[in-house]
Chains A and B, each alone.
Chain A
Amino acid sequence: DAKTTQPNSMESNEEEPVHLPCNHSTISGTDYIHWYRQLPSQGPEYVIHGLTSNVNNRMASLAIAEDRKSSTLILHRATLRDAAVYYCILIRGGADGLTFGKGTHLIIQP
């Protein structure tokens, strides 16, 4: 499976935008880019996914580089509830489950 690289932790202020980077230089053409997050003491939850084009949903936006070797999860206006570990995961056809790395621990300051 292609590997992703994320910063161990990031800090941001409440009500400001947050840009969470992910590098995936060995991504293959059919790999989808998924983001999940895990709030404290909870199971992971889906955030967003994309293949080539940028994507928006009610939770976040996903910006995918033109060469697909990196992507950025954008939280437009962080709240304290967004403090979590964010996982960037590549999923290919026929994948059996998700492979989680250590993710980025996002800290939100009031």
Chain B
Amino acid sequence: NAGVTQTPKFQVLKTGQSMTLQCAQDMNHNSMYWYRQDPGMGLRLIYYSASEGTTDKGEVPNGYNVSRLNKREFSLRLESAAPSQTSVYFCAGHQGLLRTGELFFGEGSRLTVL
């Protein structure tokens, strides 16, 4: 089992460029999430997908789009990157109820926007 896999692990962009962060899981998760973490801060929710075919905004969705391609994959797209989007991005997923279960995270994707 690979768990939750994120690609790429590192990326440097110039302002205005676009890119997609990929996330795939092989743990049969119904729900998947994208978080960002800025230095010295806790994680903030960008978007989530409660099930295949559905997506919803989290706390900080501006500047991002997501696609739940199938049950396994949940991608995060930056259409026009800005320096404020420099951060570490984490994908996560879980099966069943969140409050009685466990959220599994990927290792993170470190993005720098110049």
Contacts and interface: CB of A to CB of B under 8 A. Distances in A.
Interface string B22-35: 00000000000101
A91 B106 contact: no
Give the size range of A's interface with the partner: 20 to 34
A41 B39 CA distance: 11
Nearest to A47: B102
B113 interface: no
Given A43-B105, A44-B90, A95 B99 contact: yes
Main secondary structure of the interface of A (DSSP, over half): loop
Interface string A27-66: 0000110101000011111100100000000000000000
Interface in A76-103: 87, 91-93, 95-103
Contacts of A95: 98-99
A54 B41 CA distance: 29
Given A87-B42, A100-B42, A100-B43, A93 B99 contact: yes
B59 to A, nearest CB: 8
B107 interface: yes
Interface residues of B, number: 26
Given A96-B56, A96-B58, A97-B33, A103 B107 contact: no
Contacts, number: 60
A36 B101 CA distance: 12
Contact of B58 (A31, A44, A93, A97): A97
Contacts of A49: 99-100, 102
Interface string B51-69: 0000010100000000000
B105 A98 contact: no
A92 B42 contact: no
A58 B58 CA distance: 33
Interface of B: 4, 33, 35, 40-45, 48, 50, 56, 58, 90, 92, 97-100, 102-108
Interface of A: 31-32, 34, 36, 41-46, 49, 87, 91-93, 95-103
